[in-house]
A and B are shown apart, each in its own frame.
Chain A
Amino acid sequence: MASIGLVRKTFRLRTVFLTTLYADILFSEHYCDKRYNNLSIMVERFLFQSYDMSKYLIKKIFTLGLLLFLVSWVVFAVLFVLPGDPAQIILGINATPETLANLRSELGLDKPFWTQYVDWISRTLSGAGSQSIHYDVPVFDLILSRLAVTGPLAFIAMIIAVVISLPLGIFAARHQNKTGDISVMTFTQMGLATPEFWLGILLILFFSVKLGLFPAGGFPGWLANFWGSFKSLLLPAFALGVVRAAILTRVTRSSVLDVLQEDYIRTARAKGLRERTVLYVHALKNALIPVLTILGLQMGQLLAGAIIIENVFYLPGLGRLVFQAIGQRDLPVVREIVLFMAAAVVIVHFFVDLAYAVVDPRIRLKR
């Protein structure tokens, strides 16, 4: 505790020192005489804010580390109590008790919980990782190869969602209760009600079976066929994206509507700013804050939520891997992927926090 206090104190001292230093530079008569130029506007903004931003960043990185540790512990603990003996699965039901016991001690399964946890976490951190029981390859490699499908899939889906939802949400808010708004809201209700896997099936039915424009499923691999791989991700990404877009559109709409009621929007109009500036600079930057929250939640869930859509399109992604691994009782794979997904959620939230700080100065510059 004492050390934390000390760190804080030095921190505060350095803040004071640095800001006075800036002030000295900026308010020396010599500098004040200088007129503004494009660079100085940028540099000054950076000088005054970067320090507080870095403070915020350090705090957030600390929380991130703590959360990752907690998550790893929870994942390990949950799967520790999960029934199913890995040694038994590897050797099959006909194994003798001696061979079983030998393998168990070889895998370290006879050690106490904490030792196993520390072994596991240090192996994971060192990059060695565990070995898949079913595939007999390092889980790490397995995850990487599958992530090459799920990562781009989630990313394209998110881009589709954002590209659809932001303009639609703003449009609906601007035309509140008029025909345009009502049709957008009807669309979002439909989107909310449509199961994404059904949308996926319908897309296959129309674009693959009827028109033959896209493959109905499967994934050729990035190296073998880049364009073909990209094409095979488009339909599933669209199915995922449209459903997310429905939610994001509603959030954007209500957020923009809320912000348009604010006093500072009236001020911006009273200044005679163009309606475009009022909306896209003054309103949107504020309205984005709640949208970011939902976006972060969605992003995190997309990595895991792709399980179903990957099954619809027979994509060899993370979701399909974990789904199959659970069926095969491939414990190391399940554990590592669950850890990976949980960590991905935590890390995405970390980036959302950073995005908050960029958008909202009240968060990064607490007085």
Chain B
Amino acid sequence: MSSALLEIQDLTVSFQTSQGVRRAVEQVSLYIEEGETLGLVGESGCGKSVTALSVLGLVDRSTGLIESGRILFKGKNLLDLNTEALRRLRGNAISMVFQEPMTSLNPVLPVGRQIAEPLMTHQGLSKIEAYASAMTWLERVKIPMARKRMQEYPHQLSGGMRQRVMIAMAMVCSPSLLMADEPTTALDVSTQAQILHLIEKLKADLKMSVLFITHDLGIVAQTAKRVVVMYAGQVVEAASVTDIFDRPAHPYTRGLLRSIPRMQPPTDVPKKRLQEIKGTLPSLDIIIPGCRFADRCPEVFEPCRQKKPDLSPVQAGQQARCWLYADGSGKP
């Protein structure tokens, strides 16, 4: 674990809302090694974006509070840094790509300028150098007529192109960690594949690590080496991609996998029905004494409702937050 580029330990984040304090993230731990892609999977509202935003120190200061935990980046705790030092890391060593490229780009600034900005801020380049570099980046993310696009505004670009611009913007300072928050959700399928491919390629070129946040296990299968599954603000399972798909340990992960539509060979009769996970995400303000998934879990038994389960090892490199594995045998 000493080679981890980013290590989040026991991170707990809460928000002040009109209905009281809600814990959006509870004791989340995960790590990303250098050059690795980690998939962070979960339903919307499970706390994956908040986790990423806390790394950048962008949790809304007026309502959000990081209660406890450590975020180690290259061995340094980001939560100890002052705002200025943290700002110098953002967009420079750690950068982020957001889900909705239309609203995430400033509508009144030319895209060229938006891409050039981090270069001017972090590397002290002059406007001219920054523009030149921004243009080569537009070419690198495969935007045709880059010179002309430099002067265009977000609303003049297509959705896919906007996301390429977002990616170029995140990449200009050659970060060592890219956090991609559902970067393909707002795009159509063929564009999705192109963007995924682009991120893959840039990751290899720049030897950076990627935290890939998504609700889509299919995308994880294509991109990530390891997967962390979150549910209701907690990590419920962490394992390699092959283990997740072949031997999912947590009932929630199994449920997720069953709900993915798959191509089935025509001989596979009778066809299995696509299954959904019953029930909905528990409201985060209700303090549940036991396991947060208990109400929806098909394999629920007594301890589940009485005490919170901890992450228990299932096998080497696989952990699950479930009473089924609490005896340490790794067998349900």
Q: Which residues of A approach B to under 8 Å, CB–CB?
A: 22-23, 26-27, 31-32, 35-38, 41, 44-45, 48-49, 176, 262-264, 266-275, 277, 281-282, 285-286, 359-362, 365, 367
Other 15 A-B pairs with CB < 8 A, given A272-B121, A282-B106:
A22-B148, A31-B147, A36-B128, A36-B132, A36-B135, A48-B151, A267-B104, A270-B58, A271-B90, A272-B90, A273-B91, A286-B108, A361-B110, A362-B108, A367-B155
Residue of A268, A271, A360 touching B108 (CB-CB under 8 A): A360
Known: A38-B128, A271-B117. A32 touches B147 (CB 8 A): yes
B142 at the binding interface (Cβ < 8 Å): no
For A38, A273, A285, which residue has the most chain B Cβ atoms within 10 angstroms?
A273
B160 at the binding interface (Cβ < 8 Å): no
Q: How far is the CB of A30 from chain B (nearest CB, A)?
A: 12
Cα of A106 to Cα of B246 in the assembled complex, Å? 103
Cα of A277 to Cα of B104 in the assembled complex, Å? 16
Residue of A32, A41, A273, A281 touching B131 (CB-CB under 8 A): A41
B211 at the binding interface (Cβ < 8 Å): no
Cα of A365 to Cα of B148 in the assembled complex, Å? 14
In the complex, the 3 A-B pairs of residues with the closest C-beta atoms, listed nearest first: A272-B90, A272-B91, A271-B91
Known: A269-B58, A361-B153, A365-B153. A264 touches B90 (CB 8 A): no
Q: Which residue of chain B is the closest to A364 with respect to CB atoms?
A: B153
Q: Which residue of chain B is the closest to A288 with respect to CB atoms?
A: B108
Task: Check B127 against A269 for contact (C-beta < 8 Å).
Answer: no
For the residues of A in contact with B, the DSSP-based class is helix
List B46-96 residues whose CB lies under 8 Å from chain A: 56, 58, 62, 87-92, 95-96
Contacts of B56 in A (CB 8 A): 269-270
Contacts of B169 in A (CB 8 A): 267, 271
A-B contact pairs, 16 of them (CB 8 A): A23-B145, A26-B148, A27-B147, A37-B128, A263-B104, A264-B105, A270-B96, A271-B95, A271-B121, A272-B92, A273-B118, A274-B121, A275-B87, A285-B106, A362-B107, A365-B156
Task: Check B127 against A41 for contact (C-beta < 8 Å).
Answer: yes
Contacts of B128 in A (CB 8 A): 35-38, 41
Cα of A361 to Cα of B108 in the assembled complex, Å? 6
Cα of A150 to Cα of B90 in the assembled complex, Å? 52
Q: How far is the CB of B162 from chain A (nearest CB, A)?
A: 11
Task: Check B107 against A360 for contact (C-beta < 8 Å).
Answer: yes
Task: Check A267 against B98 for contact (C-beta < 8 Å).
Answer: yes
Q: How far is the CB of B84 from chain A (nearest CB, A)?
A: 9
Cα of A274 to Cα of B120 in the assembled complex, Å? 11
Q: Which residue of chain A is the closest to B181 with respect to CB atoms?
A: A270
Q: How far is the CB of B150 from chain A (nearest CB, A)?
A: 7
Cα of A272 to Cα of B123 in the assembled complex, Å? 12
Task: Check B107 against A264 for contact (C-beta < 8 Å).
Answer: yes
List B146-203 residues whose CB lies under 8 Å from chain A: 147-148, 150-153, 155-156, 166, 169
Cα of A275 to Cα of B90 in the assembled complex, Å? 12
For B104, B106, B122, which residue has the most chain A Cβ atoms within 10 angstroms?
B106
Task: Check B151 against A263 for contact (C-beta < 8 Å).
Answer: no
Q: How far is the CB of A100 from chain B (nearest CB, A)?
A: 63
Task: Check A23 against B148 for contact (C-beta < 8 Å).
Answer: yes
B109 at the binding interface (Cβ < 8 Å): yes
Task: Check A27 against B90 for contact (C-beta < 8 Å).
Answer: no
Task: Check B108 against A359 for contact (C-beta < 8 Å).
Answer: yes
Contacts of A270 in B (CB 8 A): 56, 58, 90-91, 95-96, 98
B34 at the binding interface (Cβ < 8 Å): no
Residue of A37, A44, A359 touching B150 (CB-CB under 8 A): A44
Task: Check A267 against B105 for contact (C-beta < 8 Å).
Answer: yes
